[in-house]
With several copies, the nearest count.
Chain A
Amino acid sequence: MARTGTVAGGGRGARGSAAAPPAAVPADDVELTQLQRLELYYWMRLTRSLEERLVNLYRQTKVVGGLFRSLGQEADAVGSAYALERSDVLSPLIRNLGSMLVKGATPVEILKQYMAKGDSPTRGRELNIHFGDTARGFIGQISPLGDMVPVMAGVTLSFKMRRDPRVGLVYVGDGATSTGAFHEGINFAAVQRCPLVVVVENNGYAYSTPTRKQTLAAQFIDKAIGYGIAAEQADGNDVIATYAATRRAVDRARRGDGVTLVELITYRRKGHAEHDNQSYVPAGEIDRWERENDPITRYLARLRSEGVTDDALAAIDARVAREIDEATDLAEQSGVPEALDALVGVYADPPSERPLWYRAGQGGVVDQHERPEGWGTYDAAARGAD
């Protein structure tokens, strides 16, 4: 369902998506080897299992802060990221654990981040999967939604200026399309013809807000024409279709043909974060998506129909389980950050701030009683949003 500067007719409406799962559509034909097809399964399974492990750790109060799930969205995250080359740069969101894994983030890093360990990728400075590594080609998000679109416009502008054939990909949620930053960033990138792919993950909700309260547009690809850019729309729960649509956009960007808006239609089966009881979701909606449109179940059926054996799949599952166990053991061994590290690296120069005078010579002056009781579990609502 590619669209380049024209309106795609009869696209699956954004508003429709929350109400009823899209019927299984035949995925676009793409050339992926059997090995690659199994790799896609591996990443999706790893994503889901790792999040399940995080739920356990969360219940054990080993996670500091909130926990965010991408249950039911693994295909959209994995399939889109898989369309990038190693040297390309991706900017993930809170529900793009799968994308980060594809780009080289490791389970142990994820676990350490969630547990706020001293040797986690951000040394305990930032939450959950808010981290990046330019060497591996992913850039950590910040919480204010939409801000990564302008930033990725600049990342890809630098590629264009240096005639470096790299591509950038940035995710925004259906909710984040309402921000000024999204608009300014995508328009800037369009006019500058940056090699950028903007993926709108339409999962039906922004926190508790359904898409129809976010926009009146029938579908998010309808925004593309207003920016004079190309659009692609795909069933985000079909990993191959997602891959194919994103790949077309990536190729277009690499060819120098500018920005594409990719809409991936999916569904957020868990609440905004673990504490959210989803009371605002119409009865039966979640069940229906789980039953009829789970991206892993769907992909398994497809793989089997293509002749992949149960043994081959079981081997992947076993590998995933082993990797997560190992990562958990490793992550649990790490210590908490050194208090004084809090003062390091606000600037390149000076390399560190000085402790305030009443802290001089003290690692930590905090009395036990001053810690919020039971942080990590205390106040579910205090962990309301990412």
Chain B
Amino acid sequence: MAEITYLEAIREALFEEMERDADVFCLGEDIGAYGGAFKVTEGLMAKYGESRVIDTPISEIAIVGAAAGAAHMGMRPVVEMQFIDFIANAYDMLTNYVATARYRAFLPCPMVVRGPSGGYVRGGPFHSQNPEAGFVHTPGLKVVYPSTAADAKGLLKAAIRDEDCVLFFEHKYLYRRIKGEMPAGDHVVPIGKARVARDGRDLSIITYAATVYKALEAAQQLEREDGLSVEVLDLRSLAPLDDDAIDATVRKTNRVLIVHEDTRTGGLAGEITARINERCFEWLDAPVLRVTAHDVPLPYAPSLEDFVLPQTADIVLAARRLAAY
């Protein structure tokens, strides 16, 4: 079977879901005739028309709010943020309105908010963000962030079919760099399950999105140079977190490194560390360590961005310290 890119996998999911269910529709800025800033929705309007592929005004509050209203009425809206950074404008609508709809008003709100996320692309402080922490913190929202093409497709299909709002973060560094074969048939990856990206015995790296590849690179290097067997767990689903998978890898290797591209303070590594502490303290042979971005806005110049973001060499160093502990 032919391989397709991470980006094409997302597009394929959109086509298949719009085909499968007439209630699925897309809305966002420049997603129609233009096909979106990254061309994820290319061809969608030509096939499904202007009424199911809606070019909106520059109004993130309205786009998300309108999706919620349509979702209440039985539609299945898929919102594109032109860059996920602009989800900040809809923070109130998502955390106060959408996230609470079912709980406070028994209103179903099945919708997806998706968009290009993440750095390593010289995008500067407003086109490189990883805003997952603020939403994982919000009860009522689900959050996924795939790293492979197959997961991108399968999780987006699951997100569109979910009865609640799912934030679907797409890593723009992976859009065209990552390829994969699509499993045959109606490929749906359940939300809430992590993926063991690499089996290992000596230590575990828990991560997600683009840093999965940095972790895998580091694992290879550690095997080659240190003879270490490193397990890499790709979380995929950030809310809910797959506690069972986390427990399993911790209890297997007893040493854990958490890696994420988001800034350190208040990033997801804290939450994961707390859970490991509560659930697996006696299995720990070393402190849970983290490799993350530095706590600064993400700068634009390559030398600065590379310094701020976590790199493979950092993971190797941190893993060595853990292994030697």
Contacts and interface: CB of A to CB of B under 8 A. Distances in A.
Contacts of B277: none
Given A125-B125, A342-B296, A367-B311, A208 B97 contact: no
Nearest to B142: A347
B57 interface: yes
A130 interface: yes
A365 B313 contact: yes
Interface in B58-76: 58-75
A336 to B, nearest CB: 5
A154 B126 contact: no
A189 B77 CA distance: 16
Interface in A122-161: 122-127, 130-132, 134, 139-140, 142-147, 149-161
B193 interface: no
Contacts of B283: none
A347 B122 contact: no
A130 B104 contact: yes
B139 interface: yes
Nearest to B127: A143
Contacts of A366: 306-307, 311, 313
A279 interface: yes
A179 to B, nearest CB: 6
Contacts of B105: 122, 126, 130-132, 139-140
B302 A147 contact: no
Contacts of A345: 102-103, 106
Task: Give the interface centre of B142, B264, B304 by most chain A CB atoms within 10 Å.
Answer: B304
A384 B97 CA distance: 21
Interface in B282-302: 291-292, 294-297, 299-302
A49 interface: no
A375 B302 contact: yes
Contact of B66 (A122, A145, A150, A178): A150
A161 B25 contact: yes
A118 interface: yes
A180 B313 CA distance: 43
A337 interface: yes
Interface stretch (B27-35, B145-153, B178-186, B194-202): B27-35
A341 B57 contact: no
Contacts of B93: 147, 150, 181
Interface in A232-286: 279-280
Given A64-B301, A116-B301, A379-B176, A144 B121 contact: no
Interface stretch (B13-21, B84-92, B226-234): B84-92
A207 B83 CA distance: 13
Contact of A64 (B56, B75, B300): B300
A65 B300 contact: yes
Contact of B107 (A132, A147, A214, A359): A132
Given A147-B96, A379-B176, A180 B302 contact: no
Nearest to A176: B58
B92 A147 contact: yes
Contacts of B97: 142, 144, 147, 151
A208 B30 contact: yes
B164 interface: yes
Interface string A90-104: 000000000000000
B157 interface: no
Contacts, number: 321
A372 B61 contact: no
A346 B304 CA distance: 14
Contact of B108 (A117, A209, A348): A348
Interface in A63-78: 64-65
B74 A158 contact: yes
Nearest to B59: A184
Interface string A364-386: 11110011100110010111110
A143 B100 CA distance: 12
Contact of A178 (B57, B92, B301, B308): B57
Nearest to B40: A381
A366 B107 CA distance: 30
A279 B63 CA distance: 25
Contacts of B169: none
A383 to B, nearest CB: 8
Interface of A: 64-65, 116-118, 122-127, 130-132, 134, 139-140, 142-147, 149-161, 175-176, 178-181, 184-185, 187-189, 191-192, 206-209, 213-215, 279-280, 336-343, 345-349, 353, 355-356, 358-359, 363-367, 370-372, 375-376, 379, 381-385
Interface of B: 25, 29-30, 33-34, 37-39, 51-52, 54-75, 77, 82-83, 85-86, 88-89, 92-93, 96-97, 100, 102-108, 116, 120-127, 139-140, 142, 162-164, 172-173, 175-176, 214, 264, 291-292, 294-297, 299-308, 311-314, 317-318, 321
